[in-house]
Amino acid sequence: MQLSGAGIGGLMVAGIPVLGNTVAPERLLEPGADAAAKKRLADVALNAAKSKGATYTDVRIGRYLQQFLFTREQKVQNVVNAESYGIGIRVIANGTWGFAATSDVRPEAIARCAETAVAIAKANSRLQTEPVKLAPQKGVGDVTWKTPLQKNAFEIPVGQKIDLLMKVNSEAMKNGAAFVTSNLFFVNEQKYFASTDGSYIDQDVHRIWPTFTVSAVDRTSGKFKTRDALSSPMGMGYEYLDGLASEKIAAPYGLVGYRNSYDMVEDATLAAKQVKQKLSAKTVQPGKYDLVLDPNHLGLTIHESVGHPTELDRVLGYEANYAGTSFATLDKWKSKNFNYGSKMVNIVADKTQVGSLGAVGYDDEGVPCKQWDLIKDGILVNYQAIRDQAAIIGENESHGCCYADNWNSVQFQRMPNVSLKAGSEKRSVFDMVKGVDKGIYIIGRGSYSIDQQRYNFQFGGQLFYEIKNGEIVGMLDDVAYQSNTQEFWNSCAQLCDQDDYRTFGSFFDGKGQPSQVSAVSHGSATTRFNGVNVINTGRKI
Amino acid sequence: MLTREEAKKIIDKVLSYAKADETAVSLSGGRTGNIRYARNSVSTSGESDNMSLAITAVYGKRSGTATINEFDDASLEKTVRRAEEIARLAPENPEYMPMLGPQKYLDTNTYAESTAKIDPEYRAKAAFDSIDPCRQKNLTAAGYLEDSTGFSAIGNSKGLFGYNRSTGVEFSITVRTADGLGSGYAARDVNDTSKLSTKAATEVAMQKALASSSARALEPGKYTVILEPTASVELLQNMMGSMDARNADEGRSFLSKKGGGTRLGEKLFDERVNIITDPMNAELPLSPFGGGGGRFGGGGSDGRPQEKVAWIENGVVKNMYYSRYWADKKGVKAIPSPGGIIMAGGTQSLADLIKSTDKGILVTRLWYIRAVDPQTLLYTGLTRDGTFYIENGQIKFPVKNFRFNESPVIMLNNLEALGKPVRAGGHLIPPMKIRDFTFTSLSDAV
């Protein structure tokens, strides 16, 4: 995960990439062009590319809507409503990909854009040594898909959203925060896909992410600490903010886990109390500890140490110049006995899980979505592959995980949801903590870093609690753990059950050049890892 | 691509429709193209055109923005009305600052015709010049070239107007040996593409790939390091990005002082550390307005002029950057956030720095750098694509990559020597020799 910049011509607001033009909030509720009109435009592109010599063409007509709200304390800093509309045309000519995009959607401009895509493909085909081979994909005809949601977030008035953030901020301040920032992010991708395979796919995809950061400052010592929200971005509507009691999971030390419903005010209240405790928390003694990792923390470790290394484009070297390659090489997979993790490690790739960020009906090259195993009983069994890669791993169909973050970005292999299956034995996090003699219970996403082949990593967190002889004895500070991916997953010793299972997510996973963002979820139950190396990150300047 | 006159005509027309207390217009556009290759073959390549106009209307402390990419009179007027409607409905921003009046902008030179002329054939040739030498030596190239040509114009109802056109090319190349045991990297960024040779940059990466094969493991610990500019640039950029005055005043920055106040005026670094920004620098020209950011210059601009600013002088913190609101509250000049940073160096080449080193490690690149502790600016990350052991002034052998945990503040106190600055990642940075750089673990990654 590396957010290093927005796409072409991107605007950054508070470090967050905004795609497209800012518009009035009500504009986000206007329907875009209807499917029949988009089909006509798509056909213009398909025909123009074919007439210039393309052997395959796909067209994405995209309307991307975003609403971002930024506040601090009792101030609204910014409300951004953005819309981006245009067409991206991808072709194969002389066995080589070409891509061009335009925000001018008049038929003559679309035809010109298709011609540019073909010209680019032809110019580059002279350098081609590996002609593109696409896994077969039968056209699916005219179909639609929509994120299952109860409340379209774009229909909720901005005023109501600001009221919520003001309540979050005031509760945080009331409970001892020195500062608080809170944000709401809403995304709606209205994507129309057409290809020369005979697919015309209309999809309406929604995502939501509420988050905040509370800070505590001790002026006398000059120390400051922060605690971020323990929410998860979701593929849901505004109903995620209902804060249903039935979706709360009680954890030791008064901590609360949120499953498919988030209580933002409650979390901010807890955060304000905890961030003050962080100021006086005991600094960690470096050494080996058994780690009890909450799903809201473990999701990022799964993302970095399993999600990225099993991306086939990385394995093959396509990301060598940027994100890097992978230690999970083809020979390890072919051996059918590479112990990625201990026997209890079962990790699935998925593009269908309801409420997840990765869920869509079809990917951005028109392939129906599905679920498949990546690691089964600890053994590496598969990768994440798209149409032009499937043949390399002996499969005759794509896994359906191709994605572009905007109409003007070219689609490529992106991570589906990658999740660790919960344990089959009945076990709560209370039970798990009881079994640990010397350990640390880690909650929330903190600092994270991993090498370009995904061997060596270091992770921090939001909250650290010391476990001694089966009891939590207090809060720790300056904690980070360093490990090696294979060693770490082989130290996986115990899993909580399905009742504890939750998703973690990221709105802005970065990959590719130019860098594109993608949203992805990672589910797990609380999990124990034995004997992991913990370092102390305290310094003086 | 609009000329100054064409852009001004559209902005003036928009302003003639405006009825709000204040109205600002931002018009930008251009073309970007790219070519990406891996496994010695082109993987993706594309081109994208875009132009858009943003109108911000303000009533009191309420503001609203609307954007459009159609430029006929009716569309322009409709968009002005829309921005005004949004502003009326928007919540008040208590920190809103009235718009700036006319500003004097420096005449910087960020545009080169050679870059504006780039076409698909040029990009294919640039890729070929990089791939071909690798193929001939049985090495594998993965690279990326991106070019942009565009303009940015701003104007408002108080008479402010600014226009800048700029071009830029970014190129990076990773070369790996066929057995996967060696990897080398080089990166270049220029405004004028006639100054770029993808072949020459690739040759550096090839040499590093071959020389880094079969690396030996050294124990992690504290080492003297020579950081090439591609290695240190991100740490320095992160540090400069943390020099926000408000955070320091609020007690949540590395520049906050124990007991309250800030460390402005304190000597925090070795006295040889001098960091400035200067939009007129011939090697690193910048847009004359805007707080940095935006590929076409001036993105997200509030119209403040970019001027020469000394941030760190002889190791002393000389300036922090301000929002206009915070500067007004504090009664100081609202210095915008730094764009391309320029760190002063010496005359020594990288080879000179190596020659003067008894024992040390040469680092080509640092990777996956993330903040660990904002209080101390502690960062972690890893070396990558060419890490070598130096003894008695010579490179002895390649070493396995390390994870580091280090703060640029500590690093710039442990300064041994500075070389001649070169452009890296949109900044001008010298190679630097640092003692006691903290490596905390080893990585098997190549």
Q: Could you report the predicted ipTM of this complex, rounded to two decimals?
A: 0.91
Tell me what pLDDT residue A24 has: 65
Residues B299, A120: C-beta atoms closer than 8 Å: no
Kindly list the residues from chain A whose CB atom is less than 8 angstroms away from the CB atom of residue B68: 21
| Residue B392 and residue B273 share a domain | yes
Shortest alpha-carbon distance between residue A296 and chain B (Å): 18
Grouping H, G, I as helix, E, B as strand and the rest as coil, residue B330 is: helix
Kindly list the residues from chain B whose CB atom is less than 8 angstroms away from the CB atom of residue A100: 46-48
Beta strands in B239-284 (DSSP E): 275-277
Tell which B residues from 261 to 290 touch A, by Cβ distance under 8 Å. Answer: 268
Of B66, B146, B441, the CB nearest to A24: B66
Question: What are phi and psi for residue A44, nearest 5 degrees?
Answer: -60, -45
Kindly list the residues from chain B whose CB atom is less than 8 angstroms away from the CB atom of residue A22: 54, 65-67
Residue bearing the bigger pLDDT, B194 or B302:
B194
| Chain A contact probe: residue of B1, B34, B50 with most A CBs at under 10 A | B50
Residues B41, A128: C-beta atoms closer than 8 Å: yes
| Residue B425 and residue B382 share a domain | yes
Tell me what pLDDT residue A417 has: 98
pLDDT of residue B381 exceeding 90, the answer is: yes
- What is the secondary structure of A86-140 as a DSSP string? EEEEEEEETTEEEEEEES--SHHHHHHHHHHHHHHHHHHHTT-SS---PPP----
Nearest CA in chain B to A87: B48
Residues B67, A458: C-beta atoms closer than 8 Å: no
pLDDT of chain A, 541 residues: tens digit per residue? 433 322 223 344 444 555 556 666 666 667 777 899 999 999 999 999 999 999 999 999 999 999 999 999 999 888 888 888 899 999 999 999 999 999 889 999 999 999 999 999 999 898 888 899 999 999 999 999 999 999 999 999 989 999 999 999 999 999 999 999 999 999 999 999 999 999 999 999 999 999 999 999 999 999 999 999 999 999 999 999 999 999 999 999 999 999 999 999 999 999 999 999 999 999 999 999 999 999 999 999 999 999 999 999 999 999 999 999 999 999 999 999 999 999 999 999 999 999 999 999 999 999 999 999 999 999 999 999 999 999 989 999 999 999 999 999 999 999 999 999 999 999 999 999 999 999 999 999 999 999 999 999 999 999 999 999 999 999 999 999 999 999 999 999 999 999 999 999 999 999 999 999 999 999 999 999 999 999 999 999 8
Of A129, A224, A450, the CB nearest to B375: A224
Domain stop point among B211, B245, B263: B211
Nearest CA in chain A to B367: A451
Tally of domains within chain B: 2
The reply to whether B238 touches chain A by the CB within 8 Å rule is no
Kindly list the residues from chain A whose CB atom is less than 8 angstroms away from the CB atom of residue B441: 456, 458, 482, 533
| Residue B296 and residue B187 share a domain | no
Tell which B residues from 408 to 427 touch A, by Cβ distance under 8 Å. Answer: 409-410
Tell which B residues from 123 to 142 touch A, by Cβ distance under 8 Å. Answer: 123-124, 127-128, 131, 140, 142
| Residue B246 and residue B197 share a domain | no
Domain stop point among B174, B194, B211: B211
Residues B121, A179: C-beta atoms closer than 8 Å: no
Kindly list the residues from chain B whose CB atom is less than 8 angstroms away from the CB atom of residue A166: none
Kindly list the residues from chain A whose CB atom is less than 8 angstroms away from the CB atom of residue B172: 321-322, 513
Nearest CA in chain B to A120: B120
Say how many Å lie between the first and final Cα of chain B, rounded: 43
Nearest CA in chain B to A126: B124
Tell me what pLDDT residue B301 has: 61
| Residue B391 and residue B294 share a domain | yes
Residues B48, A102: C-beta atoms closer than 8 Å: yes
Q: By residue range, what is the domain housing residue B254?
A: 215-446
Rg (CA), chain A: 24
Which residue do the tokens 């940059």 mark?
B201
Residues B372, A451: C-beta atoms closer than 8 Å: no
Residues B368, A514: C-beta atoms closer than 8 Å: no
| Chain A contact probe: residue of B31, B40, B44 with most A CBs at under 10 A | B44
A186 and A239 in contact (C-beta within 8 Å)?
A: no
Lowest mean pLDDT among A230-239, A472-481, B57-66, B366-375: B57-66
Nearest CA in chain A to B145: A513
The reply to whether B369 touches chain A by the CB within 8 Å rule is yes
Question: What are phi and psi for residue A217, nearest 5 degrees?
Answer: -130, 135
Domain stop point among B211, B240, B261: B211
Angle between helix A158-174 and A264-279 (nearest 10): 30
Size of interface A-B (CB pairs under 8 A): 270
Kindly list the residues from chain B whose CB atom is less than 8 angstroms away from the CB atom of residue A76: 91-93
Shortest alpha-carbon distance between residue B180 and chain A (Å): 10
| Residue B19 and residue B81 share a domain | yes
Kindly list the residues from chain A whose CB atom is less than 8 angstroms away from the CB atom of residue B49: 102-104
Tell which B residues from 175 to 204 touch A, by Cβ distance under 8 Å. Answer: 176, 180, 183, 185
Beta strands in B4-60 (DSSP E): 22-38, 41-59
B234-290 per-position pLDDT tens digit: 999 999 999 999 999 999 999 999 999 999 999 999 999 999 999 999 999 998 987
Distance in angstroms (rounded) separating the CA atoms of residues A225 and A217: 7
| Residue B43 and residue B25 share a domain | yes
Of B93, B142, B374, the CB nearest to A320: B142
Rg (CA), chain B: 24
Kindly list the residues from chain A whose CB atom is less than 8 angstroms away from the CB atom of residue B93: 75-77
Shortest alpha-carbon distance between residue B407 and chain A (Å): 8
What one-character DSSP code corresponds to residue B105?
-
What one-character DSSP code corresponds to residue B261?
S
Residues B443, A412: C-beta atoms closer than 8 Å: no
The tokens describing B113, both together, are 């015709």
Tell me what pLDDT residue A199 has: 98
| Chain B contact probe: residue of A128, A305, A513 with most B CBs at under 10 A | A513
B443 and B403 in contact (C-beta within 8 Å)?
A: yes
| Residue B280 and residue B183 share a domain | no
Residues B373, A127: C-beta atoms closer than 8 Å: no
What B411-415 contacts at long range (C-beta under 8 Å, 24+ apart), as own/partner pairs, is B411/B232, B411/B235, B411/B437, B412/B269, B412/B270, B412/B273, B412/B315, B413/B268, B413/B269, B413/B270, B414/B270, B415/B269, B415/B270, B415/B272, B415/B273
Residues B382, A217: C-beta atoms closer than 8 Å: no
Shortest alpha-carbon distance between residue A447 and chain B (Å): 5
| Residue B189 and residue B53 share a domain | yes
| Residue B219 and residue B195 share a domain | no
Residues A217, B250: C-beta atoms closer than 8 Å: yes
Residues B443, A455: C-beta atoms closer than 8 Å: yes
Mean pLDDT in residue range B436-442: 98
Look up the CATH number of the domain holding residue B73: 3.30.2290.10
The reply to whether B121 touches chain A by the CB within 8 Å rule is yes
| Residue B144 and residue B120 share a domain | yes
Confidence of residue B298 (pLDDT cuts 50, 70, 90): very low
Distance in angstroms (rounded) separating the CA atoms of residues A494 and A435: 10
Distance in angstroms (rounded) separating the CA atoms of residues A523 and A371: 14
What one-character DSSP code corresponds to residue A265?
H
Residues B410, A539: C-beta atoms closer than 8 Å: yes
Of B121, B144, B250, the CB nearest to A179: B250
Calculate the average pLDDT of chain B: 93
Question: What are phi and psi for residue A146, nearest 5 degrees?
Answer: -140, 140
What's the pTM value of the predicted model, to 2 decimals?
A: 0.94
Nearest CA in chain B to A116: B47
| Residue B236 and residue B136 share a domain | no
